[in-house]
Structure 1
Amino acid sequence: MRKPPKPKPLLQDADKPVQSRPRKPRNPAQPNLPLDPMPDRVDPCLALLKTKPPKGRQWAFEVKWDGYRLAVHIEPSGVRVLTRGGHDWTDRFPSIVAQAKRLSVSTAILDGEAVVFDEQGRSDFGKLQQSLGGRGGKRTSREAVFLAFDLLYFDGRDLTGTELSARRHLLEGLVPAGGEDAIRLSEEIEADGDVLLRIACEHGLEGIIAKDRNSTYRSGRLGDWLKIKCVQSDGFLIVGYEKSTASFGGIGRLLLAARKGDELVYVGGVGTGFNERSAGELRKQMDKLIIGKPAVDTGRKRIAVFVLPKLIAEIEYRAWTHDGKLRHASYKGLREAQDNAVVYALEQPSISDT
C-alpha cells in the first residue's frame, strides 16, 4: 500500500524553525478602530402571542411586565427616554433619568418597561397611568421603575447583531439585580416554562415572556420573543358608553370595537374595572368626542352615548362568546398614542373558508 505524502510546513522550509513576523511599534498617528454610530432610535423587538410556553434549552424566561415599553438612551450629552413609538418622555420619568446618569457607562441604550408596583409587588398598568396623570396627562411619575431586559448599545458598540445571551451578560454587569433603584434588572428565571406560567398565574401576574438565547435583536414581531398570558389583554376602540346613575362617572358599560380589515366590528361591552378616578377621567375624554350616530352597529341601545372611535382601552378578558363578544371583560385603562397602541384585529376568513 502506498504511503500518503508527508505534509510540508506551511510557507516554511522543513529545517527552519517557524517564526512570526517581527512586530512593528504602533504609529501614534494611526486612528483607533471606529466606534459604531449610536442610533437615534431602535424599533423594538416585540413578543409574539402564544398559548403555551416553548420547549428547549435555548429559551430564557422572564415575567411579563404590564407598563409602558421604553428605551433609555445614555449619552455624554445627557439621557433620553423614548416610548415605543419614538416619542420623547424624558421629562415624565425624572427618577429613571437620574438613575441612568449614575450608571457606570458612557453610552448605552437600555430596552425595558416602565412599571408601577401594587402592594403585592405586581406591575399595575392602572397605577402607572394614574402616576402620569391619566391618558393625555402631563404629570411626571416618580413612582415608576424601569425594568431593563435588554442592552442594544454599550460603550460605543452596537449590540443588535449580537446574540441575546451575550447582551444579557453585559446588561447584568451594568444593572445589578434587586435593590430599590429606579432602574432594575428584569431577571431571567431558571424554570420549566409550563411550571413558571402556572406559578405566575397563581400569583396574579399577567404572564411570562420567552426569548431565544441565540437570537439577535430584530425589530418587529418575528417570533424571537414570545408572550404567554394568564388572561387575555388587548386594546379595543371605545365607540360609546351606556349611561348609569349608579356607576362611577355615570358609565354603566363601555361599548367596544375591534378591527376587521378596514372595518370596525362591535365586540361587546365592559362594565367592571373602573374606580371613581379612572371613570371620571374617562368620561371627560369621551364627552369631547360625542357624535350623533354610532360609528359601528352596536345593536339597539336605549341609553347609549356614541363617540368617535379615537380612544383605545386596554381590556382584560377570559374568552370570546360564540357570537364574537368578549367574555368576563374588565377595563384596565386607556392606552397612549405615544405607546403605539394597537387595536385588536379579528381574523378575516381565508378564501378557502368562503
Structure 2
Amino acid sequence: MVRLPAYAPMLAQLGTLSSVQGADWAVEMKWDGVRALAYVEDGAVRLMSRNGKDTTPAYPELQLMAGATGGHAAVLDGEVVAFDEAGRPSFEALQPRMHQRNPAAVAELVRAVPVTYMAFDLLHLDDDPVVTRPYTERRELLEGLLTPGYRWQVPVWFAGHASQAFDSSRQLGLEGVVCKRMGSPYRPGRRSGEWTKVKNVRSVEVVIGGWKPGGGRRSGTIGSLLIGAYDPAGLLRYVGHVGTGFTESMLRELLERLAPLERPDPPFGEAVPREHARDARWVEPRVVGEVQYAEVTGDGRLRHPSWRGLRRDRSPEEATTREILPDGDPGEAAAG
C-alpha cells in the first residue's frame, strides 16, 4: 500500500512581464482561489492548505476526484476555485466555503456555491517523487494521469507568449498569470523566481494589528482595520487602514476573532499616524486577511484598499512587504 509523503507547496515571486520574456517560460492563468495540495490515495482525497491545515471537510464534492487517477496514488498541486454567474473565479463567492466545517452548512454550500479544483502540478506518483523532474515532464504526467471531471480539471498552459496571455487574463477578468521556467524542478516549501506571478488585479495578504470602532450604522462594530506586513528584517510595517469591502457577516466574524487578541500597545515596528492610531484597539498580529488596492504610495502605504476576506490558509509571517514592493523596502519608490 502506497503511503504518500507530506509536501509543502512551491511559491511564486511577484514580478513583471519584462522579467518573464522568452521561449523557456511556460505561462498559466492565475486562479483567484485558495491553494491546496490534493493527496489521492486509498480511494479518498485529502486536501491540505498552504500552511499545512487539513481543509478536506470544507470541499466534499472533491472526493469524487479519487476515481480520476486510474487507481494511481498521487500528490497534486492546485487551486480550489468558486466561479460567479459569469463563469469567472470569485474570491468573494469562495469566502463562506473556506471557513465552514459544519457538515450541514457545508452540504448546503455545496449546492449553492460548488467549487472546482484546478490541478496544475504533480509532485508524487505512486511510489515515486517527481519533484526533481522538469516542469514540462510533470505537466505531461499530470495531463496523462488526471481525467477531467465536473469539479476538477487540468487548465491549459502556454509556451512563451506571456504578454498575450496576460492580456487575455485581463480580458477574461482573471487575476493575472503565473510564469514557470520549463526546465525547473518543483521546490517544495520554497519561493522561487522560477515561478513568477504577474498580477493585473492588485491584491495582497496583510496582518491585522488593530481596529477602530465604527460610527453611524457601524456603531458598536468595526469601522476600519489597521493593517501591516512583515519586512525582510521581521518587523511588522504599517501599510495602511481599510474601511470598505465588509459585509455584516464579515464584521461579526472579525470581532469574534479579534476580541480575544486585544493588547495595550500597537504591534507595529513603527509609529502609526496619529489620526489612525487615535481610539484604536490594538491586537496581537495573528489574523491574516486579503485586501485589494489601487496602488502603493512612495512610503509603502496601500492607497484605497478594500477588504476581500480572511485568509486562514496563510500564516502571519507570509504577509510580507515583498508582496507589496518587489524589493521589500518601503523606503524605495513604489512600483505599480
What TM-score bracket applies, with the shorter chain setting the length?
A: 0.7 to 0.9
**Whole-angstrom distance in 1 between the partners of 2:250 and 2:172:** 25
For residues 78-114 of structure 1, give each alpha carbon's deviation from its aligned partner in whole angstroms, at most 9, with x where no partner exists: 4322222222222222111222234313211111111
- Identify the residue that residue 206 of structure 1 maps to in structure 2: 175
For residues 278-317 of structure 1, give each alpha carbon's deviation from its aligned partner in whole angstroms, at most 9, with x where no partner exists: 2222222222323333333323244432222221121222
**Aligned-pair distance for 1:349?**
8.9
Higher alpha-carbon Rg: 1
Report 1:111-190 matches (<5 A).
Answer: 111-133=77-99, 140=106, 142=110, 143-176=114-147, 181-189=150-158
**Whole-angstrom distance in 1 between the partners of 2:120 and 2:87:** 18
**Whole-angstrom distance in 2 between the partners of 1:241 and 1:311:** 12
What SS does the corresponding residue of 2:307 show, helix, strand or coil? strand
**Aligned-pair distance for 1:230?**
0.8
Flag the 1:146–1:281 CA change in 2: closer, same or farther, 3 A: same
Flag the 1:40–1:253 CA change in 2: closer, same or farther, 3 A: same
**Aligned-pair distance for 1:340?**
4.1
What SS does the corresponding residue of 1:222 show, helix, strand or coil? strand
Does residue 222 of structure 1 match 2:192? yes
**Whole-angstrom distance in 2 between the partners of 1:171 and 1:195:** 25
For residues 35-72 of structure 1, give each alpha carbon's deviation from its aligned partner in whole angstroms, at most 9, with x where no partner exists: 9x754212222111112251222211111112221111
Task: Report how many aligned residue pairs link the two structures.
Answer: 311
Give the counterpart of 1:288 among 257, 260, 264.
260
- Identify the residue that residue 278 of structure 1 maps to in structure 2: 250
- Identify the residue that residue 57 of structure 1 maps to in structure 2: 23
Do 1:76 and 1:106's aligned partners in 2 also have CA atoms closer than 8 Å? no
Do 1:315 and 1:330's aligned partners in 2 also have CA atoms closer than 8 Å? yes
- Identify the residue that residue 309 of structure 2 maps to in structure 1: 333
What SS does the corresponding residue of 1:235 show, helix, strand or coil? strand
**Whole-angstrom distance in 1 between the partners of 2:55 and 2:252:** 25
What SS does the corresponding residue of 1:204 show, helix, strand or coil? coil
Q: What stretches of structure 1 of length at least 5 have no aligned partner?
A: 1-34
When the two chains are superposed, the root-mean-square deviation of aligned CA atoms in Å is 2.7
Q: For residue 214 of structure 1, what is the amino acid of its counterpart?
A: G
- Identify the residue that residue 194 of structure 1 maps to in structure 2: 163
Report 1:59-78 matches (<5 A).
Answer: 59-76=25-42, 78=44
Flag the 1:190–1:121 CA change in 2: closer, same or farther, 3 A: farther
Do 1:79 and 1:101's aligned partners in 2 also have CA atoms closer than 8 Å? no
For residues 159-201 of structure 1, give each alpha carbon's deviation from its aligned partner in whole angstroms, at most 9, with x where no partner exists: 2122221221221123345x5x222112214672112212312
Does residue 320 of structure 1 match 2:290? no
Q: For residue 332 of structure 1, what is the amino acid of its counterpart?
A: R
TM-score, length of structure 2 as denominator length: 0.82
Further displaced range: 245-254 or 228-237: 245-254
Do 1:68 and 1:339's aligned partners in 2 also have CA atoms closer than 8 Å? no
Do 1:149 and 1:186's aligned partners in 2 also have CA atoms closer than 8 Å? yes
TM-score, length of structure 1 as denominator length: 0.78
Q: What stretches of structure 2 of length at least 5 have no aligned partner?
A: 323-327, 332-336
**Whole-angstrom distance in 1 between the partners of 2:299 and 2:68:** 54
- Identify the residue that residue 307 of structure 1 maps to in structure 2: 283
What SS does the corresponding residue of 1:313 show, helix, strand or coil? strand
Do 1:38 and 1:158's aligned partners in 2 also have CA atoms closer than 8 Å? no
